[in-house]
Amino acid sequence: MEFKPVICRSFAEFFGREFRPGVRTFPTAPREMGAFSEARYFAWAKLRPEQIFPVKGCSLKASHILGSEELAKPFLEGPVILARLAPVDYHHNHYPDDGTTFHAASIGGALWTVNWHALQNQDDILFRNHRQINILNTRHFGQLAFVKIGAMSVGRIQQVHPYDKPFSRGNEKSVFKFGGSAVVLFGEPGSWQPSEDLLDNTANGMETLVRLGDIIGRCTTLLGA
């Protein structure tokens, strides 16, 4: 059994169930990035100003998701990963590397579903939904924008690790409370590269189911070596 044996008094408690210690691990090699969520992943090597997802709209435009051109500027032409969590998934998010939180904010409003059909047919869901925006200074992957996006039936996004405390690779970061949800991760240009399988599957219009801690990217610089 992968999950802790607990008695759930509601479906909401079942939704927030936790893994047993040790059933998921993060890479020990400094330059390898582990999956921050157990989810369905898309990845792009470079975020273009006109980036669209997945068919129409501009749902991956960094300035829209992050809420400002100033916050988005460091991430233009950098790598981006989108992780979509289904209701059946483990809904706790973890830090991909050691570091500190530089910026934290909450924006957005309504909670739209982020299922595959909705992402294909609704313009700009990812920046219309409520979201928590964190800018992370990490040891091996430079600055990361980690955006938690709520969705239909997600009552709240709970930050578990205090923003004013340093974090370590694999530490639990936050948890979504009941429903579907998503995370978008933006990186600086030239700092790291998403895994080839994620890039190839994304280019073919396919999501990749990834387990928490599995390798999703690699550092391309000497940062933190």
Residue 5 belongs to a domain: no
Residue 191 belongs to a domain: yes
Global confidence as pTM: 0.82
Q: What is the pLDDT of residues 17-33, one digit of tens each?
A: 666 777 789 999 999 99
Residue 154 has pLDDT above 90, yes or no: no
Average pLDDT (52-62) is 53
Name which residue leads in pLDDT, 193 or 115. Answer: 193
Residue 213 belongs to a domain: yes
Domain coverage including residue 95: 29-219
How many domains in the chain?
Answer: 1
Residue 13 belongs to a domain: no
Amino acid 91: pLDDT: 85
Q: How far apart are CA 98 and CA 166, in angstroms?
A: 8
Torsion angle, alpha carbons of 108, 186, 124, 106, to 10: 0
Residue 225 has pLDDT above 90, yes or no: no
Amino acid 88: pLDDT: 77
Amino acid 47: pLDDT: 78
* Of 188, 178, 53, nearest in space to 127 by CA: 53
Name which residue leads in pLDDT, 5 or 191. Answer: 191
Residue 15 belongs to a domain: no
85 within 8 A of 37, measured Cβ to Cβ: yes
